[in-house]
Amino acid sequence: MIKAVIVDDEPKAIQSLTWELNHFSKDIEVIETFSSPEMAISFLNKTSNTPDCLFLDIQMPTMDGFQFLEKLTNKDFAVVITTAYDEYAIKAIKHEAIDYLLKPIDSDDLSSTINKLKNLTTKNINYDKLEELFYKFNEENSRQKITINTDGKLIFLNVDDIIFIESDGNYSTLILKDNQKLVVTKKLKEVDALLPDKMFFRIHNSYIINLNKVKEFIKPKAMLLCNLTIKSLLLDSVN
C-alpha cells in the first residue's frame, strides 16, 4: 500500500484529488492532507509515519512548491508535482520529478502516475531525482541561489550572502554575511563554476570575491604586497 500526503492551498483541489486516488486505485492510501504548507512541513519533518509519496501543488500563496521542498529535512519519498499552470520552469524539471500532473487532473494521467509510483523499487531513487530537480531549478532561476552539497545535505545559498571564498587545497571556505563561514569539500575552481560570472571574480589563486561587496580598490605597489593585502582587505569588507 502506497501512503500518500497531499499539500495544496485549495481545499477543493485536495478533496478532488483524494476522491480520485481513492476511486482509481486500491494501492494508495491518503494518510494526511494539508492546505497550509507550514503545517505540512512540520508534519513531514517530525512524523515517524513517513509517506511513500507527496502530491505537491507548486503555486501556493505563502511559499511555492520549491521553497516548500527546501524546508524539508526528510525527503525520503516520491514527489508528484500538481499545478494549474504549465510554465517554462515546470517544463524544465518535468522529467526530473517522479511525475507532473496538470490541473484539472486527467484520469489517464493519474493512472500513469500511480503505475510509476508502484514501479519504484526504492525510495532513494526519488531522492536522486529530487536532488537533480533542485540543481536544475536553481539554474533556471538566473542563479540567484547556488546549491552546495556538504555534510550529506544540500544547502541553498543566496549568492548575495557570499562576501568571498578562500581556497584551502581540496576545501573552500565561503565567508558569508554576519561573519558566518561555510566549509565545503570543493576546490576553488569548482565553487567558481557555480557562481554568476558577472557578480564574482577570481582575484587570486586562493580567493574569489563578490564584486558587489567591494567598497574600495587600493592599487598595491608591488606583487608581494598584493598577496599580503588581499585577505586583510576582504576581511575588512566583512566588518
CATH of the domain at 164: 2.40.50.40
Beta strands in 35-161 (DSSP E): 53-57, 78-83, 99-102, 145-150, 153-158
Residue that terminates a domain, selected from 109, 140, 171 = 140
| Total tally of structural domains belonging to the chain | 2
Query: What's the pTM?
Result: 0.52
Question: Which strand ranges, in their side-by-side order, compose the sheet holding 207-210?
Answer: 181-184, 171-176, 162-168, 207-210, 200-204
Cell of 233: 582587505
Residue that terminates a domain, selected from 140, 159, 186 = 140
The reply to whether 134 and 151 lie within a common domain is: no
The reply to whether 128 and 209 lie within a common domain is: no
The reply to whether 20 and 108 lie within a common domain is: yes
The string of pLDDT tens digits covering residues 73-121 is 877 788 898 888 766 445 546 545 778 888 888 888 898 888 888 877 4
Cell of 210: 563578490
Range of the domain at 160: 147-238
The string of pLDDT tens digits covering residues 34-78 is 999 999 999 999 988 889 899 999 888 888 888 888 888 877 788
Residue that terminates a domain, selected from 98, 124, 140 = 140
Give the separation between CA 113 and CA 130, rounded to whole angstroms.
Answer: 16
The reply to whether 123 and 161 lie within a common domain is: no
The string of pLDDT tens digits covering residues 113-122 is 888 888 774 4
Give the separation between CA 226 and CA 235, rounded to whole angstroms.
Answer: 15
Cell of 177: 554575511
Give the separation between CA 236 and CA 100, rounded to whole angstroms.
Answer: 48
Closest CA to 192 of 207, 178, 181, 179: 207
CATH of the domain at 105: 3.40.50.2300
The reply to whether 16 and 64 lie within a common domain is: yes
